[in-house]
Amino acid sequence: MLLELEQPTRLSPARILQVDCQRVQLEFPDEFVWADMALAIPYQPAVGDTVLAIGQGAAWYVIGVLQGSGKTTLAVPGDLSIRSGGAIELAAPKGVTLKSPSVRIAADKLEVVARSVFERFAHATRWVKETFQIRSGRLRTRVDGTYDVKADRIVERARGDVKIDGEQIKLG
């Protein structure tokens, strides 16, 4: 009677050669195997990823991603709440996009720092209880329709000339 020698369990990095749903073909230096994805995170593997695999014989599992380029999608059927006892930082070299019918930001202080800002709205209202201040190297306002300013008092000062150009200028 011959006893089969059981293959030892192997734990090793491998490169993904093919992706077929939640199974991947792995390349080791000495063999090619198919493995099931067994990650705790919802990662979509990509060809060329380097993963950590464990297995023996025909039973292989991917248990880690060492270098990946695939997508991770966190999808929940209901509401999702993310809480931290400290700070939360989102960083992405290719950008961050928020998509929702409604976005609300509630803060004691909101600071936006950017090299360039572009805003596009169908309608916009800004309500400021106390002071609204703009500091600018130059300020240009262009209005296709009527430009209407109402105030208890208007004070405008210029170090140089003031030019008002119109077909008619009505005072009073």
CATH number at residue 33: 2.40.50.140
End-to-end CA distance of the chain: 115
pTM: 0.65
Q: Give the Cα separation of 51 and 67 in Å (integer).
A: 7
50 within a domain of the structure (yes/no): yes
Q: Give the Cα separation of 17 and 167 in Å (integer).
A: 73
169 within a domain of the structure (yes/no): no
Nearest alpha-carbon partner for 60 in 16, 102, 24, 90: 24
Domain count, the chain: 1
How does pLDDT run along the chain (172 residues), one tens digit per residue?
Answer: 555 567 789 999 999 999 998 899 999 999 999 999 999 999 999 999 999 999 999 999 999 999 999 999 999 999 999 999 999 999 999 999 999 999 999 999 999 999 999 999 999 999 999 999 999 999 999 999 999 999 999 999 999 999 999 999 988 8
User: Which residues form the domain of 22?
Assistant: 10-72
25 within a domain of the structure (yes/no): yes
47 within a domain of the structure (yes/no): yes
Can you give the pLDDT at residue 6?
Answer: 72
Can you give the pLDDT at residue 22?
Answer: 85
131 within a domain of the structure (yes/no): no
Q: Give the Cα separation of 83 and 88 in Å (integer).
A: 8
Q: Give the Cα separation of 47 and 100 in Å (integer).
A: 32
Which tokens hold the place of 142? 């262009």
